[in-house]
Amino acid sequence: MMTIADLHRHRRDIVETASVIENLMTPEQLSVHAIAKVAHILLCDLCEMVTDYLADEHKGLYPNLLTHEEPSVKNMAWGLINNDKLLKPEFSRYKKKWLKDCEFQFTDAFIEDTRGVLKSLRQRMELEEHTVVPRLERAEILDRA
């Protein structure tokens, strides 16, 4: 079962990685081969982190929320699940389009697409930080440890 501490740790790792990537998303930074390579590696890592995080939520969080007695908790769970239906394909499409090879010649379209994906992720993380996690803590749905 997922704990609040697990949720915080995974979210922190995702947000930190996304923040580093956002700082690298300039044509000047990406024109340096070593920086472009690091950005590519971090983006691959981030895609895996997000995939694993969403899978962990489906296994360790949503079952508890969907069977909770409070209708508002169930509604919150369905809202997250519906958000997943948008976020997962967006990351999958992005990964197939931009991260399938080792070419580090990142175009303006790549930078724009990356910023869009990171914006979607940031919105999800902010939703969880400001709404979901406080709600879970108040309702004591997950263990703290």
pLDDT (tens digit per residue) in 66-92: 999 889 999 999 999 999 999 999 988
Q: How confident is the model at residue 18 (pLDDT cuts 50, 70, 90)?
A: very high
Is 85 a member of any domain?
yes
Is 118 a member of any domain?
yes
d(CA 102, CA 89): 22
Domain that holds residue 81: 4-135
d(CA 128, CA 9): 13
Predicted confidence (pLDDT) per residue in 29-70, tens digit: 998 989 988 999 999 999 999 999 999 999 988 998 999 988
Is 142 a member of any domain?
no
Is 144 a member of any domain?
no
Q: What is the pTM of this model?
A: 0.84
Is 145 a member of any domain?
no
Domain count for the chain, please give it. 1
Is 8 a member of any domain?
yes
Is 141 a member of any domain?
no
Residue percentage of the chain with pLDDT more than 70: 95
